[in-house]
Structure 1
Amino acid sequence: MNQLLIPNNDWDSSLYEDKHAFVWQYGEDLLKLLNPKPGESILDLGCGTGQLTEKIALAGAEVIGIDNAATMIEKARQNYPHLHFQVADARNFQLKQPFDAVFSNATLHWVKPADAAIASIHQALKLGGRFVAEFGGKGNVQAIVKALYTALAEINITAESLNSWYFPSIGEYASILEQHGFDVNYAIIFPRPTPLAEGEAGIKNWIEMFAGSFLAGLSTEQQIQVTQTVEQILKPTLYQEGIWTADYRRIRIFAIKV
Structure 2
Amino acid sequence: MDNTATDFKNQWNAELYDSKHSFVSELAANLVELLSPKPGECILDLGCGTGYLTHKIASLGAEVIGIDSALSMIEQARKNYPQLDFEVLDAKKLPFTEKFDAIFSNAVLHWIKEAEEVVIGINRALKPGGRFVAEFGGKGNVKAIVSAIYNALEKSGYPADVALNPWYFPSIGEYGSLLEKHGFELTYATLFERLTPLEDGEQGMQNWIKMFANSFFNGLPTTVQISTLADIENQLRPTLYKNDTWFADYKRIRVIAIKP
TM-score band by shorter chain is over 0.9
Give the Å deviation of 1:8: 8.6
1:133-154, Cα deviation, whole Å (9 max, x unpaired):
0000000000000000000111
Kept after mapping to 2: 8 A contact 1:9/1:69: no
**Contact map agreement 2:137 2:253 (CA 8 A) in 1:** yes
Question: C-alpha separation between the residues in 1 aligned to 2:256 and 2:10?
Answer: 28
Partner Cα distance (1:231, 1:129) in 2 = 44
**Aligned to 1:154, what secondary structure does the other structure show?**
helix
Cα deviation for residue 226 of structure 1 reads 1.2
Unpaired segments ≥5 residues, structure 2: 1-7
Matched, 1:221 2:223: yes
Partner SS for 1:192: strand
The answer as to 2:232 corresponding to 1:230 is yes
Aligned residue among 152, 166, 171 for 1:164: 166
Q: Which amino acid aligns with 1:58?
A: S
Equivalent-residue separation in structure 2 for 1:125 and 1:226 (angstroms): 45
SS at match of 2:91: coil
Report the secondary structure of 1:36's partner residue: coil
Q: What is the 5 A alignment of 1:97-136?
A: 98-136=99-137
C-alpha distance in structure 1 between counterparts of 2:74 and 2:194, whole Å: 27
Q: Is it true that 1:32 corresponds to 2:33 in the alignment? A: yes
* Distance in 2 between residues matched to 1:221 and 1:88, nearest whole Å: 37
- Normalising by structure 2, report the TM-score: 0.94
**Could you tell me the percent identity over the aligned residues?**
58
Q: Which moved more, 1:9-18 or 1:223-232?
A: 9-18
Aligned to 1:198: 200
1:84 aligned onto 2:85: yes
The farther-off stretch of 9-18 and 184-193 is 9-18
Quote the Cα distance in structure 1 between the aligned partners of 2:205 and 2:36: 34
Give the conservation status (yes or no) of the 8 Å contact 2:103–2:133: yes
Which whole-Å CA distance do the structure 2 matches of 1:196 and 1:91 have between them? 30
2:96 maps to amino acid: L
Counterpart AA for 1:232: N
> 2:211 — aligned with what?
209
Per-residue CA distance 1:209-258 (angstroms, 9 max, x = gap) = 00011111111111111111100000011001111010000000000012
Residue 112 of structure 1, CA deviation: 1.5
1:162 CA displacement: 1.5
SS at match of 1:248: strand
Per the alignment, residue 244 of structure 1 pairs with 246
Match of 1:253 in 2: 255
Are the structure 2 counterparts of residues 118 and 30 from structure 1 closer, same or farther at C-alpha, using a change threshold of 3 Å? same
Equivalent residue for 2:3? Answer: none
Q: Say whether 1:53 aligns with 2:73.
A: no
Is the CA contact (8 Å cut-off) linking 1:189 and 1:252 kept in structure 2?
yes
Aligned partners of 1:154 and 1:161: how far apart in 2? Answer: 19
CA contact (8 A) 2:55 2:81 kept: yes
Residue 23 of structure 1 pairs with residue 24 of structure 2? yes
- Deviations along 1:1-37, one digit per CA (max 9) or x if unpaired, are xxxxxx9974110000000000000111100100000
Q: Which secondary structure does the structure 2 equivalent of 1:120 belong to?
A: helix
CA drift of 1:156 comes to 2.7
CA RMSD after TM alignment: 1.3
Given residue 67 of structure 1, which amino acid in structure 2 is its aligned partner? Answer: D
- Within a 5 Å distance, the mapping from 1:134-145 to structure 2 comes to 134-145=135-146
Matched with 1:3 is none
State the 4+ residue runs in structure 1 displaced beyond 4 angstroms. none
What residue number does 2:96 align with? 95
Q: Secondary structure at the match of 1:138?
A: coil
Greater displacement, 90-99 / 7-16? 7-16
